């Protein structure tokens, strides 16, 4: 899935340390597909990548402190400043998503559980410091 000239209305742009490794992690953990990748002149860092995942898209790049440092990876900032929320259709999808991410190397921050707003919810931290939350509505009760 490539969005091309019609990107999603909100599109996270992740800054990481280890862009090539991050792309591989997101492919394993989330079934992401890298639809575009441009490497920096140093041949080691990702200048820009687009990843299709969960029916949407995120952009990704390595940290480039030599260009001003306004975008830094979570470890450089002391942790993540936001969570990327993924809405899934069914409660069982939450458990499956968390298990797959954990098997790929993510740390479970909040195990899957039923929460007060009527959803099954969980949170993980990926190996690059980004927080991902997963939410699915519980079955309606009569």
3-state secondary structure 10-26: CCCEEEECCHHHHHHHH
Per-residue pLDDT at 14: 97
Instruction: Show the tokens assigned to 72.
Output: 């830094």
Q: What is the DSSP letter of 67?
A: G
- Cα separation, 48 vs 76, in Å, equals 19
Q: Where are the beta strands (DSSP E) in the chain?
A: 13-16, 33-39, 46-53, 56-62, 83-87, 107-115, 119-125, 131-137
Ordered by where they begin, the domains of the chain are 1-65 (3.30.720.100), 75-142 (3.10.180.10)
pTM: 0.92
Give me the average pLDDT of each 10-residue run along the chain (142 residues): 70 96 98 98 97 96 90 94 96 98 98 97 98 92 49
Per-residue pLDDT at 56: 95
């Amino acid at each position: 899935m490539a969005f091309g000239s019609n990107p999603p209305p909100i599109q996270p742009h992740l800054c990481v340390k280890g862009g090539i490794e991050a792309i591989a992690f997101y492919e394993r953990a989330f079934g992401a597909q890298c639809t575009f990748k441009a490497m920096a002149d140093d041949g080691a860092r990702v200048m820009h990548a687009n990843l299709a995942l969960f029916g949407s898209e995120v952009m990704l790049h390595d940290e480039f402190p030599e260009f001003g440092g306004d975008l830094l990876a979570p470890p450089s900032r002391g942790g993540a400043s936001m969570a990327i929320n993924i809405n899934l259709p069914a409660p069982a999808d939450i458990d499956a998503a968390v298990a797959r991410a954990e098997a790929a190397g993510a740390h479970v921050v909040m195990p899957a559980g039923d929460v007060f707003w009527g959803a099954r919810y969980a949170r993980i931290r990926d190996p690059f410091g980004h927080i991902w939350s997963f939410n699915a509505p519980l079955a309606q009760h009569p």
